[in-house]
Amino acid sequence: MGQAERSDYRLKRYESNETGAAYVRVSTNDQTELSPAAQVREIMKAAKADGIIIPKEYIFIEERGVSGRRADNRKEFQRMISIAKSQPSPFQYLYLWKFSRFARNQEESTFYKSVLRKKCGVTIKSVSEPIMEGMFGRLIESIIEWFDEYYSFNLSGEVTRGMTEKALREGYQTTPCLGYTARGGGKPFLIQEEEYKIVEFIHQSYHNGMDLSSIAREANERGYLTKRGNSFDRRSIERILTNQFYNGIVIWKDISFHGSHEVRSSVTSVFHDNQSRLQREFRPRNRRESSDCRHWASGLLTCGYCGASLGCNRAGKTNLKNGYFQCWRYAKGTHSQSCSITVSKAETLILESLKNVLDFGEQECEYKKKPDLIKDDEAEKNKAARLRNAAKLARIKEAYEKGIDSIEEYKCSKERLESERMELDRQYNDIKRKLVDNVGKKNSRQLFKIKSAYEILSDPDTDNTIKGTALRTIVKRIVYDKERNTVRFFYY
């Protein structure tokens, strides 16, 4: 066989190969597990032996340690299923190192394998657990799935029992809180000096009279961060104040013991006083249905500094009009600029702004370009016709200049196309006028909606839910600029 014939043979053999995919997942609990690279290497070797090509874009590798118990937690798995469900499926084979890499939940494993096999026409193959085709092979596969699911549940129980035993023996196994670092092996945690200074600041500040939000704002201004590297808010400050670990108590589930880790008097000396203050100042909020409207502007008013929503707060047990709006981020201590406004003042500004729109008939709208699918058909057809007309004029001129057409033929064609262009221009002007009229009608309808909303908002007997619904039909959001004492509307 000549070289050209051999090349042609290899090309035909390559073109006849089917496409495959590889799914790789590594469990942190299995110490004997092959690495992702090793799994891919074994899969590629097996696919090559079968004459299957696996492109790089069809190698799906999960992040290390992702559990196989739930499919919705596995991003690469969901991406693989989504690609396979394309019609037709771009790959015909799916290679795994083990069937347990596909799923450790038999119910999900059966469902997704059925989707791949019956709907997508994909054959699933395990490199390390080869089974025969047919019903007997499916039976063996089901047994493997049952064993994998049992292993997963049993492993979970064994891990929990081990952790319980470790806690009973006063071993350290929780994630270190702010100010501490783990040593490993169940040994007591060590103080991390830079972080512990933040803990001391929080406990001392609260003992000196600062509230949770003020402490959070001050901590953020100083550049302090939580253990996870986030900014502080009320909740994270409260967690640190109530964490018994700073007072020497280690808690794991319902097991607690006096730990041998280092604690310092700068925190322990004020810890109990801080708990007493937290209990004294605790005020359970009156719960309400999530569908209730606290105020008709709730959810629409936003902060001019950061764009967060302004929450409506009642002033004790008094009437709602004596309450106020405040940026929720400021209230939680995550930024320093207060953007508060009383309820009565906010109502006055909003109603005045709506009245000005009705008096002058103008409003600034947030314009969003519509998708191409809903463009005006007549305008688009006219535009295409005028482009074709211009192209024809250019062609007849070129034909005349090259001597293909005579002067008489050029004049005749030009007059015809000029006449056609004038008619297209007239049609364009008619379409443009019609579109302008439609915009005017839409503006009129918008002003009518604003007038209706204004009348509803001005009625003191209408409840907040109806007022809120009326305002949301015309307004997307309202930005309160505290410095200029103005509100800016963004209409639909």
Enzyme catalytic residues: 27
Which residue, among 250, 460, 254, 265, has the nearest Cα to 351 in the 3D structure?
Answer: 460
Q: How far is CA 249 from the centre of its chain?
A: 38
Strand pairing class (255-258; 249-252)? antiparallel
* CB neighbourhood size of 450 (10 A): 23
**Whole-angstrom Cα distance, residue 424 to residue 318?**
68
Cβ neighbours of residue 22 closer than 8 Å, sequence gap 6 or more:
39, 40, 43, 44, 47, 54, 58, 59, 60, 94, 95, 96
**H or E element at residue 59:** strand 59-61
Q: Return d(Cα 126, Cα 30) in angstroms, integer.
A: 18
Q: How far is CA 112 from CA 82, 118, 144, 177, in A?
A: 11, 10, 16, 40
The candidate with the shortest Cα–Cα distance to 84, out of 43, 48, 121, 128, is 121
- Residue 458's CB is within 10 A of a number of other CB atoms, namely 13
Tokens encoding 277: 């203050």
Q: Please, are residues 487 and 478 in contact by the beta-carbon 8 Å criterion?
A: yes
Instruction: Tell me the pairing of strands 475-481 and 486-491.
Output: antiparallel
Confirm if 189 and 181 have CB atoms less than 8 A apart. yes
